[in-house]
A and B are shown apart, each in its own frame.
Chain A
Amino acid sequence: MLHFFEVLGVWLAALFTFAIYSFLYKDNPFYKVAEQIFVGLSAGYWFIYTVYSILIPNLFLPLSEDFTGNWIKMIPAVLGIMMLLRLIPSIDWVSRYPVAFVIGTTSGVFFLRYLKSDVINQMTATMINPFTGGDWVVVIGQLLLVVGTITGVIYFYFSKKHEGAFGVTAKIGIYFLMVSFGAAFGYTAMARISLLIGRLQFLLGDWLGIIGH
């Protein structure tokens, strides 16, 4: 029996794989059904894991085991329930309170972290002497890094019209951005092909048994 369900599992997986791939030929009911099963199962998974991984260990267990020591957790619990009231249109304004809390915390943390990591540290990492550190390839690279970052940032400054010397600098910035997008396309192609490889490794290996892992 166990073996039967193992084999059934592999066949189910293969059938659903083909149901999704059938979209490549044209949209059809098999694809649509598979797509909706995907959405439903995904939502169910999130639901269950949120309850088991967050709400039970971080809220229900502390409250049920030692209420007096953890009564303060009633505040996020109430805010959480207020969040769920968004589903009832007549009183959905109640959910603004927890949303305000979430947005306030996120904004505070984002302000601090992005300032340091994505602005200050990135600028510091660009303030290098390009002429140090090794052979001519590295020197050219570091020059490109400094020039590219500065001109790229200038390109994103839209409060001044891109003309004259400013416009030329912004144009150089675009060239660097284009190289970035090209590189990003190269990596994206690699990523998508990798996912297809993963699927074919399953179909040819686990399902058909033509290749070993």
Chain B
Amino acid sequence: MSAHKQIDRRWIFLLIFICVALPLIFVIGLPIETTENSRLVYDLVQNTPPGSKVILSFDYDPGSKPELHPMATAVMKNCLERNVKVIITALWPMGVQMAEEIHEELKTEYPQMEYGVDYVNLGFKAGGMVTVQAMGKSFRTIFPTDLNGTSINELPIMNGVKNFDNIAFVCSFSAGDPGIKQWVQITHDTFGKPVTGGVTGVSAPAVLPYVNEQQQLTGLLAGLKGAAEYEFMVKKPGTATSGMDAQSIAHLLIIIFIAIGNINYWRNKKKEAKGGE
């Protein structure tokens, strides 16, 4: 393809912008189908006995918020509604604020839920894999206090939580490294506890090999689609569900771009071949 025949890419940018914006304004309401991996995550939460304690790790920042925040919100609410106690941690510093945003929602939506009893935010710790390993041996060493500086011994939810033995499962919402990989390698492969979670679309293909017969990872929510599936299963449509129409149209547009790119390429190749004869 010769350079002068290529259209100005700013037209492509504009088209993408419009094709994403329009379905957000004029909702089509395309159906959402669940996948096996998302159902595995849902089943793990549903089969966890009420009163159990789980870790939800917020390993992302605002850069991945549209994908991971809806699933984190849906999973957290699902846990709390089933009376599964939630311990929040973060391997990314901005994960703390992401969790706090959900905390604000919980205050109004579930006023009966009590901080420190039904859920707690232990905050951010650096060190990735090494820190997760230390957590597995002794929770108190790594988290002497919660995010507010309250001693972990004064928080009822942390009673009896010494290490991963006292946790039902870990669910990591992960935008990269450190994240779900470290939880799989340590929590499941070293301490034998189920690990599940959600990842950005970018990292999903590389994380999928962990979903295998050994159950290194129990299911996986992949990107906005995974979030929309979870919202669908818990019957709480949110931003992921409302974004799926736009997602569909944008994918269609990208496929059309690929097709046009190929048609142009082959047409030019034919012309070049003719010119060469």
Contacts and interface: CB of A to CB of B under 8 A. Distances in A.
Find out whether A and B make contact in their complex, taking CB atoms under 8 A apart as touching. Answer: yes
Interface in A145-184: 180, 183-184
A131 B254 CA distance: 38
Contacts of A54: 124-126
B129 A113 contact: yes
A109 B125 contact: no
B224 to A, nearest CB: 4
A105 B134 CA distance: 12
Interface of A is mostly: helix
Interface residues of A, number: 49
Interface stretch (B42-50, B59-67, B111-119): B59-67
Interface in B133-164: 133, 142-145, 147, 149
Contact of B130 (A106, A125, A180): A106
A197 B246 contact: yes
Interface of B is mostly: helix
B205 A195 contact: no
Contacts of B147: 53
B246 to A, nearest CB: 5
Nearest to B245: A197
A211 B251 contact: no
A3 interface: no
Given A125-B212, A183-B205, A210-B25, A24 B10 contact: yes
Contacts of B206: 184
Contacts of B93: 45-46, 49-50, 53
Contact of B10 (A25, A49, A198, A200): A25
A197 B220 CA distance: 22
Interface in B14-31: 16-17, 20-21, 24-25
Interface in B196-211: 200-202, 204-206, 209-210
Nearest to A196: B20
Nearest to B206: A184
Contacts of B145: 57, 61
Contact of A191 (B185, B201, B209): B201
B186 A113 contact: yes
A190 interface: yes
B83 interface: no
Contact of A109 (B124, B133, B223): B133
B106 to A, nearest CB: 17
B250 interface: yes
Nearest to A46: B93
Interface string A179-213: 01001100111111111111111001000001101
Q: Which 4 A-B pairs have the closest CB atoms?
A: A198-B66, A191-B201, A125-B212, A194-B224
6 contacts: A57-B143, A113-B186, A187-B222, A192-B201, A194-B201, A197-B24
Given A117-B189, A193-B247, A200-B17, 10 more contacts: A58-B144, A61-B144, A118-B185, A121-B212, A189-B201, A191-B67, A195-B67, A196-B250, A198-B67, A204-B24
Interface of A: 24-25, 45-46, 49-50, 53-54, 56-58, 61-62, 105-106, 109-110, 113-114, 116-118, 121-122, 124-125, 128, 180, 183-184, 187-201, 204, 210-211, 213
